[in-house]
Every structure is written in C-alpha cells, then in structure tokens.
Structure 1
C-alpha cells in the first residue's frame, strides 16, 4: 500500500518539490513556535525560589554619588520607620528587585583551583530571605552571627552547589570571587544552600546563583531597593502613606514604589512578546500554506481525472479514491517533515543551545508541530478528495 501511494508522488516529483519545500518551511516555523512554547511551559513550572505575593519594592533614587555609600544610621532609620507602619509586616534590603531586568554576574573559584564558575549574584540583608520565603535546603540563613567574621557569608543555589561540590555538602566550604593567585584573595564562606533564586521570574532559565550577605552596619555600599511585606489585602492607596513616610527619612531622594505582583505581570508580558510575534508569523504562514495546499491539490485532482476514471472503471470504489488522495498528501507531508527532522535533531544532539533545548522540550515540540501539519494537510485534502471520489467512471473517461 505504501509503495502504491508513493509511486504517483514520485512520478510528479518536480511538481511536488515546491509543495514539499512549502510544507518544510511551515513545519520549521511551527516547530520553532512549539519549541519556545514548550520551553516556556517547562520554565513556568519550575520553582522561582521566592514568593512575590504581598511584597512591594521600593527603589531609592539618590541625588548624587556620595549617596551610593552605605550610611548605617540612614539604613537603620529606614528599617525602623517602615517596620513601624501598621500595614507592614517585614522589611528587607536587596541590591536589585525581583522581576527587574537587573543582572549582576561574576565568577567564583575554589581556593585551590583555577576552574571558574560563572554565576549570577545578588546581595541581601539578613531579613530578606525570610521576607521572600526562600526555601533553605541545607545549612542556615546568614544572620548577625556572621558579623565581624573574616570570611563574608554567602549562600548558593542547589545547581551551583551540585556543580562545585558534587557528592558532598557545600555548607561551610570556602570559595572566592577573586582569582586564587591574586594578591588579595577575598574568601567567602557558604552558610546555606537554597533551592533557587530566579530573580527575573518564571521564564528565566535556571542558572548558577549566589547571594552575598549585606551588613547594615559595615556594608560599604548601600542597597538600592527596600522590600516590604505588607498585610494581605493592602491596596495601592497605601502607596501615598508609604511615600510620605519615606520622605520623612530622606526628603531629597526619590522613590519608585511597585508591588511585585505588578512587576511580575509586566515582566511576563515583556518575556512573552517574542513568542507572540512568532505566533502571528506562524499563523499567517500556515494560512498561506493552507491555501497553497488546497489550490495545488485541486489542480492535481483535476489533472488526474482520467487516471481516477480508469481506477473507477476497473473497480475502485469512491472510498478508495478518497483514501488515496488524502493518504498521498499525508505521505508528502511526512517526507517533508522527515527532511526537516534530520536538520532539527542536531539541536539537542550538539547541545548548541544548552538546556534551552532538552529532549523533553524537543520531543514535545516535534509532536505538536507534526500534529499541526498533519491536521492542515488533512483539512486541505478533504474537499479535493471528496470531489475526486464523486466522479463517475463515464464522466471521468470522457474528460478532456
């Protein structure tokens, strides 16, 4: 049966070549859309490592470079004044807010190794992890007991811990953010391992992450962001009262107040724009491919009327004719998609895009894109196949 269907396709191979290329292009575009959607779906269901509900971000906009230095008295005033508000449950400091586009990248080394671990970093005060309800997997949070120690306290995520210390606990280990052969090696002591901290939200790819402790008393540079945990149900009307309280502390600074719920919504919209653009392109391309397939199949069945009439004359039923036309189109689509798969399967095999294209995402995208192309091919062939199957042998054999 397979070779019986393949034979007429091969005889019209030059006519089918452009149609196959059109199907191949459509398959690649749909595959790209399905691949991105599957990866977004996968990332969305991974833990971000923190909770955003009822958390507000306050960005402190200073007036000059001197304000970049940490003033322990001012920092403590912010802590006490904001915590005194009845709507506020917790206050914490961080160098940049979750769901912002900020990125701080650095390298970590083991003291006795030149191997470099590229990491994303953040700096937090002692209260911030609890405020964000971060999940501790091993060790402890940094706290006041780390004040004055020769090694600065640091926490790392599980991905980095598994990479740097495979098969053993990372808690208590020493690392450095300067090259081991440097004259001034700054040692950092790992106090705990957290689940993760994907600061850019649900669509951020997992990465090595480390969190340094910020000391409100000895820190050289102040934190630019205050995070506050407000009571559930607090409305945006609280923003005016909060701004007045902030002005009492530093009236010469500006303040940008944003609930993390709103920042998350904006970030997710921003991250999905490429997906929406590709979806629009894919829809228009599929419409064009659909019209093209329908037109070519109509023309092909018209040209094959004598052949169809001969088959009907020797005993083929209308159902057999219908099945043949649809099967030929599905086989042609399969050949075009098989050619595309030979190229696309190189992506997970070579690992050129890393974890962005893992086998789970690749297989999901393949199944979805093949299903879409098969559905379009089937729909476009139904009417031409029905029209061909309705021809009587006498009418077909007299066709010129």
Structure 2
C-alpha cells in the first residue's frame, strides 16, 4: 500500500512538491515560534531565586543640584526600620528587580572570563530583605569592614562560569576581561567571594536567570548620594497607610528630599505587561500562520479532488469502496506531510547541534515535536472533509463527465 501511495505521489510530483514546500516552511516557522514560546514558559515556571511578596521599593532623591550625606541617609533608614510593620530595610543600587535599570559587566579569574554579569551594590541587610537563598558561605556582616578586598556574593551560574568545580569561597577575581593591553587591576577592582546564592531572575517573569554579583556597601562611608534606592520588607497585609508613614518619616528628617514608595509586585506586574506584548504578538503570528496553512491545504486538496474525479470514478467502478477512497487520500496526504516534516526536522536539528540561541537541547526537541504534531493535526483536519467528498463521488457520474 505504501509503495502504491509513493507511486501516486510521484505521478503528481509537481503539485505535491508545492505541498511539501509549504509544509516544510510551515514546520520551520512553527518550530521557531514554538521554541520561543516554550522558552518563555520554561522561564516563567523556573524559580525566581528571591521573594517579591511584601517587598517595597523606596526611592529617595535629593533636591536638584544637591546630594545626600551618607550619615544622614543612614539615619533616615534607621527611622524607617523602626516603624511598626517594617521588618527589614536594605540600601542598594538603582538597578532594582523588575525595573528598566541595569548595570552589568565582565569578570576574570585566572584564564576564565565570565559571561555578561549583573552588578548590584548591597548592604548587610539585603539578603534578608529580598529573601535570597544561600547555597554556600554567608552574606555580608560587620566583620567584613576590615577585609582587604571588597566582599561579594555571587550566583551559582557565575560560580560555575568562573570557578568550575573548584571551591569558590575565599577566591579573589577581578573586574573586566583578560586583556594584555589592560592595566593590572587595582585593589578596588579585586573581589573576594564570601557566599554563593541560588540563580536569580530579576529582569522579567519570562527572562532566564542571569549571572549576578552583589558588592558590599561600606557602612557609614563619606559618599554623598544624589538618589538612594532602598528595599523594604514589611509584614504581610500592610497597605497604603504604612507607605504614607514611610514617606512622612523621610520628609521629617529633611524637607528637601523627595520620596516614592512602590511595591515590588506592582513593578513586576508592570514589567510583565510590557514583556507580554511581543509574546502575544508572536503567538498571534503563529496562529495566523496556522490559519493560512489550513486554508491553503484545504483549497489545494479540494482542487486535487476535482481534477481526479475520473480516477476516483474508475476506482469505484473497479470495486473500491468509499472508505477505501477516503483512506487513500488521507494516506497520500500523510506521506506528503511526512516528507515535508522530515526536511524541516533536518533543518531544526542543526540548532541544538550548533548551540544556537543558548537554549537547552531538550527545548529544541520539544519544539520539534510540537511543530510536527501541529503540522500533522492541521493536514489531517484539512484532508478529512475533501476525502469524504471523494468517497461520495458516484462512479457513473464521474465517468459520464469524462
């Protein structure tokens, strides 16, 4: 039977070549869209590495053209921490999670360079405030004041990139990539690892984990700040009343500072909406493609049946049953679909082999399976009704028309 189907397909090779080409390109586009959507879904359900519930973002800004002395800023933070309902307060850099602000760079250890890495400044309360999960070592503490090198905490993926299977705690790495033309790093560019935390996803709900490093902010330094970013962990159930108290507390120290209080969940929701726009667009493109492929296949199969009425009538006259005619058309379409899908699989298989786009190989395999399933489903649905029409053609009517 299969040999007969191949013979029928070969006899109509021009028309079938167009079908195979259409199925091939449909598979490739569905594979690409499916891989991206699966990647987004995998990221969405991956651990975030920190807690966003009951965490607020406090932005304090000095008057234009002025700066905030660090001792005065520390006094403000102590008063905010003393408010009922506030559990932890942490001073950090402006690139907070789920904001559009980023700071990144590269690091070097021996003969290894890190991938692009997010940089954060953080004080001793940051881990408790954001709920980071330690894997090795510890977070910053007061005894780090006397260390020669600036203490840092890194994520697990950065640990693997810089140190591999070696122990990471106590190791010293430097800022920047290895370059013979670059000057030797000074003490300010040397960092000592005191802890390792779980991987974090701070960009959006759909972004992958990014290598990250937290550098310790020195307490009570003489730095003057133009803008201070603060994370505040509050007790569950706190609402706008506490936000108002925090704003009043900051204003009570100095009337020349402005304050904004915003929940991290609100930042997360805002970033989610921003990120969902291209994802929805991608899904709509995939759906539009599926619709166009279905309509095209349905029209081509309908036309093929009208061109083969004499063949169908002759087969019916020789004793072929209606279901047999229907299964013949479905079988032909299955073989044509398989040829188009196989060509698509050969192309899609190159992506995991070449490591394109940095996705896990199993994600590509899943995308290949999903694209193949959709293509077979579309062709089966489109071939079902035309095959039923072919099965209903009466031999006498078909042969009389010829």
Q: What is the TM-score with the length of structure 1 in the denominator?
A: 0.92
- Residues 337 and 80 from structure 1, CA distance in 2 versus in 1: closer, same or farther, beyond 3 angstroms? same
Deviations 1:79-126 (A, max 9, x none): 21211221212111121211112221122222xx35422322111111
Q: Greater CA deviation, 127-136 or 309-318?
A: 309-318
Contact 1:123 1:211 in 2 (8 A): yes
- What RMSD over aligned residues (CA atoms) do the two structures have, in Å? 2.1
The list of structure 1 runs, each at least 4 consecutive aligned residues, that deviate by more than 6 angstroms after superposition, is none
The residue correspondences of 1:257-268 to structure 2 (distance < 5 A) are: 257-268=261-272
SS of the residue aligned with 1:121?
A: strand
1:314 aligns with 2:329: no
Please name the residue that 2:102 is paired with: 103
Contact 2:204 2:275 in 1 (8 A): no
- Residues 114 and 218 from structure 1, CA distance in 2 versus in 1: closer, same or farther, beyond 3 angstroms? farther
Distance in 1, matches of 2:185 and 2:342, equals 58
Contact 1:56 1:227 in 2 (8 A): yes
Please name the residue that 2:20 is paired with: 20
Gaps (5+ residues) in structure 1?
A: none
Q: What is the TM-score with the length of structure 2 in the denominator?
A: 0.91
SS of the residue aligned with 1:193?
A: strand
Please name the residue that 1:278 is paired with: 282
Distance in 2, matches of 1:221 and 1:15, equals 75
Once the 2 structures are TM-superposed, how far is the Cα of residue 191 of structure 1 from its aligned partner?
A: 0.5
SS of the residue aligned with 1:224?
A: strand
Distance in 1, matches of 2:221 and 2:12, equals 80
Distance in 2, matches of 1:7 and 1:60, equals 77
- Residues 237 and 324 from structure 1, CA distance in 2 versus in 1: closer, same or farther, beyond 3 angstroms? farther
Gaps (5+ residues) in structure 2?
A: none
Deviations 1:337-396 (A, max 9, x none): 222222222211111312xx2211111111111111111111111111001111222222
Distance in 2, matches of 1:334 and 1:236, equals 60
Once the 2 structures are TM-superposed, how far is the Cα of residue 205 of structure 1 from its aligned partner?
A: 1.9
Contact 1:50 1:134 in 2 (8 A): yes
Please name the residue that 1:204 is paired with: 207
Please name the residue that 1:191 is paired with: 194
Contact 2:313 2:396 in 1 (8 A): yes
SS of the residue aligned with 2:71?
A: helix
Please name the residue that 2:113 is paired with: 116
Please name the residue that 1:234 is paired with: 238
The residue correspondences of 1:80-159 to structure 2 (distance < 5 A) are: 80-95=78-93, 96-110=95-109, 113=110, 115-118=112-115, 119-159=117-157
Distance in 1, matches of 2:102 and 2:203, equals 9
1:297 aligns with 2:301: yes
- Residues 61 and 327 from structure 1, CA distance in 2 versus in 1: closer, same or farther, beyond 3 angstroms? farther
Distance in 1, matches of 2:253 and 2:26, equals 60
- Residues 219 and 12 from structure 1, CA distance in 2 versus in 1: closer, same or farther, beyond 3 angstroms? farther
Distance in 1, matches of 2:96 and 2:185, equals 34
1:8 aligns with 2:5: no
Once the 2 structures are TM-superposed, how far is the Cα of residue 64 of structure 1 from its aligned partner?
A: 4.0
- Residues 109 and 338 from structure 1, CA distance in 2 versus in 1: closer, same or farther, beyond 3 angstroms? same
Aligned length: 394
The residue correspondences of 1:30-45 to structure 2 (distance < 5 A) are: 30-45=30-45
